[in-house]
Amino acid sequence: IYIVTKFIDGCSLADQLKLGPLDIVKSLNLVKIIAKALDHAHQKRIIHRDVKPANILIDGKTELPYLTDFGLSIREEQFVSDGSPVGTPSYM
């Protein structure tokens, strides 16, 4: 079993934020796209559990954000039965 993913030629949002804050229009667009990605995952009953700037990659050409690192994600029914907190504490 293996996983194939798209190569994102760019940087993480964490790296981009080290250069300074994003302007309001870019920030709102980024939030809108990532919210749609999370909504799609939630409709599939998948909870990401580690949304943070390091897990958002920004394509260098299109400037589109991609939500990555679903390594801690679980199905909704697992979360209800387990309920233990998992993720990066400062972003939980």
Indicate which residue of 50, 59, 69, 82 is catalytic.
50
Answer yes or no: 69 catalytic: no
List the structure tokens of 56. 């958002």
Active site residues: 50
